[in-house]
Amino acid sequence: MLSFDTTDAEYLDELAGYVAIPSVSRDATGETMLAAAGWLAAQLSFAGGRVVPTTGHPVVRADWLQAPGAPTVLVYGHYDVQPTGDLAEWRTPPFELTVDGDVIRGRGVTDDKGPVFIVLKVAQAFLEQEGALPLNIKFLFEGEEEIGSPHLPEYLREHAEELAADLVISADGAMWRPTEPSLSIASKGLLTMTIEVTGANGDLHSGRFGGTVANPVHALSEILASLHSADGRVAADGFYDGIPALSSERRAEIAAVPFDEDTYRAGLGLDQVFGEAGYSTLERLWERPTLEINGITAGGKYTVIPHVATGHVSCRLVPGQRPERVLEAITEHVLAQKLTGVRIAVHPDEGAVPAYTIPAGHPAIRAAAAALEEVYPDQDVLLAVIAGTLPATALFEEVLGAKTLFFSFSTADENLHAPNEFMRIPRLREGMRAWEQLWRLLADGPHRLAP
């Protein structure tokens, strides 16, 4: 076992220097982004850490490949952070790492600077204490995750050979809840589109023309209302195509997860939950695809008949669904609505992402579960689903042919993307211990990764 005998204060001091760099990928200067990348590269000097210029913000790369015959893993994370939003909502300055009881606060502290810091410290400890890592490790940290990784596909495709690995381990992602360790065995896909209804050649005075022409907002309302039936199912024929029936085993597994619906409901300020008939809230969240209207726009408060009305729709997909088939089903459903005097169009956004899944029996999941059990000996490891979408997973699978294991010590309730982002301090040491175990288990023993 490695010894992590640096004090908390020393760790936090070092992490504070990283958090202090305001690497907001949406609007920081190139200089600022380079400073964050440079900080990371310096931490990776044991493996030739370097900043690699690419289209967009640079990536940080490093390789330690001195374990011949051992498996190779690619560790992924990001050094960019979300914008702060309204500074008035922050209790402490966002780029000043602040200790508050047993949490640390600051923009990026849990997404993804703290979780990446864990990996750095583990690798450094191996080198210092044992002179080697237990397996071959390639490091790839990008600077554009928070803006949708627009240049990652290009970079991966151009460096597929150099990045080849038996497994990707992501230091990004988050555990589901703070109350127990969990691993994600799937993440949902994403398909988004805009439904546009057009009427006359301009906005019309609602007095001078009212009642004589179709109102595009009425029509859009009809269309949006038609997308679900009263029992909460998506009404577009074909939407659910390809999804295997939920097995009774998985139902039992989910039913066994401690989950208090009243707490969930009350936390959202709601009187009732609502969703697809025949499924529990957790089943809806983890196992079923969804269709949500994210926004609607038309006219304003003035007395016009707007000539354009738009609705933005997103679908979260589950394994078995093909994005192009879902788009087709929705488009057909929308265009089949009988509406007089308006033109209807469905404009899909680019970059649809299928759902991602890694089998519960995959060596990486087994090794990760075993590692977590060592760190949290009294707790069951929960197999959860990320109901959000992580486009990199599908990309790694497509380009590198490798599955991705999410192994983050961030928790989903830590105000990721919101003001007052925080991370639980004990997670840092728990994470170090767990990454150490994970690497050892993947290198050797019953969960050894096939190279």
Minimal CA–CA distance to 253: which of 380, 410, 376?
A: 380
Site for a second copy in 411-450 (CB under 8 A): 412
Q: Please, what is the minimum distance in Å from the beta carbon of residue 205 to a second copy? A: 7
The site for a second copy, by CB under 8 A, has a size of 72
Which of 292, 324, 335, 336: binder of a second copy (CB under 8 A)?
Answer: 292
Minimal CA–CA distance to 164: which of 59, 49, 71?
A: 71
Interaction of residue 224 with a second copy, rule CB under 8 A: yes
Q: Please, what is the minimum distance in Å from the beta carbon of residue 251 to a second copy? A: 16
Q: Please, what is the minimum distance in Å from the beta carbon of residue 343 to a second copy? A: 8
Q: Are 23 and 17 spatial neighbours (Cβ–Cβ below 8 Å)? A: no
Site for a second copy in 115-134 (CB under 8 A): none
Parallel/antiparallel/unpaired status of strands 167-170 and 182-187: unpaired
Beta bridge mates, 434: none
Cβ proximity to a second copy: between 208 and 248 the closer is 208
Q: If you search the block for the tokens 């030739």, which residue do you land on?
A: 48
Cβ proximity to a second copy: between 114 and 306 the closer is 306
Site string for a second copy, 388-407 (x = CB under 8 A): xx------------------
Give the binding range for a second copy (CB under 8 A) out of 71-79, 164-172, 237-245, 292-300: 292-300
Site string for a second copy, 225-264 (x = CB under 8 A): x-xx-----------------------------------x
Beta bridge mates, 74: 138, 168
Interaction of residue 330 with a second copy, rule CB under 8 A: no
Interaction of residue 333 with a second copy, rule CB under 8 A: no
Sign of the CA dihedral with 276 first, then 280, 285, and 289 last: negative
Which of 252, 268, 277, 450: binder of a second copy (CB under 8 A)?
Answer: 268
Site for a second copy in 58-97 (CB under 8 A): none
> Please, which contacts does 285-288 make with residues 24 or more away whose CB atoms are closer than 8 Å?
285/385, 285/387, 286/186, 286/254, 286/384, 286/385, 286/387, 287/246, 287/250, 287/254, 287/318, 287/385, 288/318
Site for a second copy in 349-378 (CB under 8 A): none
What is d(CA 215, CA 228) in angstroms, rounded to the nearest whole number? 22
What is d(CA 126, CA 47) in angstroms, rounded to the nearest whole number? 12
What is d(CA 231, CA 245) in angstroms, rounded to the nearest whole number? 18
Q: Please, what is the minimum distance in Å from the beta carbon of residue 221 to a second copy? A: 4
CB burial of 397-409 (b: ≥16 within 10 Å; e: otherwise) equals: bebbebbbbbbbb
Site for a second copy in 269-288 (CB under 8 A): 269-276, 281, 284-285, 288
Q: Please, what is the minimum distance in Å from the beta carbon of residue 199 to a second copy? A: 7
Stretch (H or E) spanning 391: helix 391-400
Cβ proximity to a second copy: between 389 and 420 the closer is 389
Minimal CA–CA distance to 335: which of 222, 212, 211?
A: 222
Give the binding range for a second copy (CB under 8 A) out of 27-35, 114-122, 149-157, 294-302: 294-302
Interaction of residue 30 with a second copy, rule CB under 8 A: no
Cβ proximity to a second copy: between 82 and 437 the closer is 82
User: Residue 138: left if φ>0, alpha if ψ -120 to 50, beta else—which one?
Assistant: beta
Site for a second copy in 163-222 (CB under 8 A): 188, 190, 192, 194, 199-201, 204-215, 217-218, 220-222
